[in-house]
Amino acid sequence: MRSLDQCDSGYLCVWSGSGYTGTIQRFRATGTYRAITVGRVKSVYNHRAGRAYVHEGSRGGGVFACFSPGERDSETSGWVQRAGSVYLSASANC
């Protein structure tokens, strides 16, 4: 079953489908940019204690969106669907 349950505590998760469906990619390492490889980012869940940034560019370039701990979006829109990287911070809210 594809759902939020796939995203363990301590991870930022992105899905290729809306409603937390499709291919999932999980991120845990803080302090570095990581490439998003699932293609389109249609769902996001920050199941971490720190904030997470989703960047348009592959190495943090371009515009970004910040997701506070526990924040989620079951149907992203605009440039977020084409996001190229994430950055996980140890700091709390956006």
> Using one digit for the tens of pLDDT, what is the confidence trace for 22-40?
999 999 999 999 999 999 9
The pLDDT score that the predictor gives to residue 3 is 85
Q: Residues 65-70: what's their mean pLDDT?
A: 97
Cα–Cα distance measured from residue 78 to residue 93, given in angstroms and rounded to the nearest whole number = 23
b/e code 22-47 from CB counts within 10 Å (16+ = b): bebbebeeeeebbebebebbbbbbbb
Q: What is the pTM of this model?
A: 0.94
The pLDDT score that the predictor gives to residue 2 is 63
Q: Say yes or no: domain 4-88 is CATH 3.90.230.10.
A: no
Q: Where are the domains of the chain?
A: 4-88
